[in-house]
């Protein structure tokens, strides 16, 4: 027997396992960690991809808007934002000419304390900070309609500065292909109807993890952001990207800056290298951790780990998912949809008939149950877990393994995923 310790919420969970059952423990390949973060930031913005160095773009006295991630996405903005803001000062931009807009998409609003925690006390005390609230129609400006009929409504706060700097980190996304890049704008700073219409394309079989060109969600986002970026260009506004890639311990590996398309595509190649991990075959049982808080803050965020973990599981197998879910489901609509409809097929039918944000997450969660049984190790309310059609919700991995045996028997194989929100299992061959 060997003991393992996986991240769980803001702490850990330990369990023992017979080593002979383990096919593979999926970990990110060893990649050098960035030791000097300020140097990494400055190297990126002064040696950008597809753009001139930052000092050739920024002019004294101009205005700058930074777009930053919300708490559901680990970005370590508190590490790079002071460097970016201080560099703007050196280039002649005073604090009063800068602001931060948090790209919430359709997520809940951030409190002031969360904003401070996100970008650090120094930056928060100096710059104005705002939520992008998708529900306030008058906060958005119209920039046309995509060829897929998505209305491009973007928050006005990112439309009237001399420079817009998109920040954040990049991981694989289960239907948008990859995070980062254009996502800071759409869905990050887009209106509810824009997000709803764009996300409805997740039902298309071409929408998927790691898929870019040909993925209707990704292509629609790119087209929508291009309409906005072209309008910004006509106003004399520049759009500049700063994206980073982190390891499982939230340490910086690489930083990419420059053109929001070219730099992002280069970064995605690196993401594939560090997050894609080969396995010899799919297992009877997958034991996966989201990687702890905030990746397991709620079911809404946990679902992304589900999509990765199920890739390592055979048809009819079991995924044991360590996810504390301190904020419950993360969506009242998700809960209500599952409770009211009560079956995988009914949820799928309704979302295809009428696409609703929140209900789409009910579909995203439950569609995976057609391949595998899911047992949660969680603090989630047990009735809520049952309403959302999970096969079980328990306190320990040992309890989950005992429950799994009724589906796979006692002689089962295991794949371990300690950082399930990041790593993508790739079956050899």
The enclosing domain of 76 has a CATH number of 3.40.50.11440
Kindly state whether residue 252 falls inside one of the protein's structural domains.
no
- Judge if 287 and 238 occupy the same domain: no
Kindly state whether residue 266 falls inside one of the protein's structural domains.
no
Kindly state whether residue 267 falls inside one of the protein's structural domains.
no
Nearest to 26, CA basis, from 428, 427, 424: 424
Kindly state whether residue 260 falls inside one of the protein's structural domains.
no
- Judge if 6 and 64 occupy the same domain: no
- Judge if 287 and 374 occupy the same domain: yes
Predicted confidence pLDDT, tens digits, the chain (429 residues): 999 999 999 999 999 999 999 999 999 888 999 999 999 999 999 999 999 999 999 999 999 999 999 988 889 999 999 999 999 999 999 999 999 999 999 999 999 999 999 999 999 999 999 999 999 999 999 999 999 999 999 999 999 999 999 999 999 999 999 999 999 999 999 999 999 999 999 999 999 999 999 999 999 999 999 999 999 999 999 999 999 999 988 999 999 999 999 999 999 999 999 999 999 999 999 999 999 999 999 999 999 999 999 999 999 999 999 999 999 999 999 999 999 999 999 999 999 999 999 999 999 999 999 999 999 999 999 999 999 999 999 999 999 999 999 999 999 999 999 999 999 999 987
- Alpha carbon distance 422, 211 (integer Å): 16
| H-only helix segments in 235-298 | 262-275
Number of domains making up the chain: 2
Query: Residue 73: its pLDDT value, please?
Result: 83
- Judge if 52 and 18 occupy the same domain: no
Kindly state whether residue 256 falls inside one of the protein's structural domains.
no
Query: Residue 412: its pLDDT value, please?
Result: 98
What one-character DSSP code corresponds to residue 91?
A: T
CB distance 427 to 282 below 8 Å: yes
Query: Residue 313: its pLDDT value, please?
Result: 98
Convert the pLDDT of each residue in 147-193 to its tens digit.
999 999 999 999 999 999 999 999 999 999 999 999 999 999 999 99
- Judge if 23 and 41 occupy the same domain: no
Kindly state whether residue 269 falls inside one of the protein's structural domains.
no
Kindly state whether residue 102 falls inside one of the protein's structural domains.
yes
- Judge if 356 and 415 occupy the same domain: yes
Bond from prior residue into 382 cis (ω within 30 degrees of 0)? no
**In degrees rounded to 5, what are phi and psi of residue 168?**
145, -170
- Judge if 67 and 25 occupy the same domain: no
Q: For residue 328, what is the domain's CATH number?
A: 3.90.226.30
- Judge if 104 and 25 occupy the same domain: no
Q: Which domain holds residue 330?
A: 2-29+276-427
- Alpha carbon distance 383, 370 (integer Å): 21
Query: Residue 30: its pLDDT value, please?
Result: 87
Tokens of 221: 């986002």
Quick one: how far is CA 352 from the chain centroid? 24
- Judge if 20 and 68 occupy the same domain: no
- Alpha carbon distance 131, 189 (integer Å): 9
Structural element, H or E, at residue 284 = strand 283-289
Query: Residue 341: its pLDDT value, please?
Result: 97
- Judge if 114 and 170 occupy the same domain: yes
- Judge if 391 and 294 occupy the same domain: yes
**In degrees rounded to 5, what are phi and psi of residue 162?**
-70, -30
Nearest to 331, CA basis, from 349, 352, 356: 356
Q: Which of 227, 246, 265 is the last residue in one of the domains?
A: 246
Kindly state whether residue 89 falls inside one of the protein's structural domains.
yes
- Judge if 371 and 320 occupy the same domain: yes
């Amino acid at each position: 027997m060997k003991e393992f310790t996986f991240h769980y919420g803001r702490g850990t969970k330990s369990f023992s396992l017979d080593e002979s059952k383990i096919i593979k423990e999926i970990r990110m390949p060893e990649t050098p960690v960035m030791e000097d973060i300020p140097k990494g930031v400055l190297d990126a913005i002064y040696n950008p991809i597809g753009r001139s160095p930052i000092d050739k773009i920024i002019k004294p006295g101009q205005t700058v808007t930074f777009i930053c991630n919300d708490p559901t996405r680990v970005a370590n903005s508190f590490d790079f934002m002071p460097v970016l803001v201080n560099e703007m000062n050196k280039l002649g931009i005073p604090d009063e000419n800068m602001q931060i807009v948090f790209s919430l998409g359709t997520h809940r609003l951030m409190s002031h304390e969360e904003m401070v925690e996100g970008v650090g006390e120094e930056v928060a005390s100096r710059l104005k900070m705002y939520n992008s609230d998708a529900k306030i129609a008058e906060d958005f400006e119209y920039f046309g309609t995509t060829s897929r009929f998505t209305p491009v409504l973007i928050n006005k706060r990112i439309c009237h500065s001399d420079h817009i700097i998109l920040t954040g980190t990049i991981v694989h996304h289960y239907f948008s292909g990859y995070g980062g890049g254009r996502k800071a704008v759409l869905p990050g700073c887009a209106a509810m109807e824009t997000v709803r219409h764009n996300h409805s394309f997740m039902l298309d079989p071409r929408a998927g993890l790691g898929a870019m060109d040909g993925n209707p969600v990704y292509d629609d986002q790119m087209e929508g952001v291009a309409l906005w970026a072209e309008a910004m260009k006509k106003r004399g506004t520049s759009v500049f990207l700063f994206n980073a890639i982190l390891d499982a311990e939230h340490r910086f590996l690489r930083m990419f800056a420059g053109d929001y398309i070219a730099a992002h595509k280069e970064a995605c190649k690196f993401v594939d290298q560090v997050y894609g991990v080969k396995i010899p075959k799919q297992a009877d049982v997958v034991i996966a951790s989201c990687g702890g808080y905030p990746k397991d803050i709620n079911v809404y965020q946990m679902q992304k780990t589900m999509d990765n973990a199920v890739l390592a599981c055979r048809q009819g197998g079991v995924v044991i998912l360590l996810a504390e879910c301190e904020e419950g489901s993360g969506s009242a609509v998700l809960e209500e949809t599952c409770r009211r409809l009560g079956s995988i097929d009914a949820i799928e039918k309704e979302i295809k008939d009428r696409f609703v944000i929140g209900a789409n997450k009910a579909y995203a969660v439950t569609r995976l149950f057609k391949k595998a049984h899911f047992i949660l190790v969680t603090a989630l309310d047990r009735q809520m877990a049952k309403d959302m059609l999970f096969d079980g919700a328990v306190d320990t991995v040992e309890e989950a393994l005992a429950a799994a045996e009724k589906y796979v028997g006692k002689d089962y194989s295991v794949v371990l995923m300690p950082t399930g929100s990041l790593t993508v299992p790739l079956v050899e061959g």
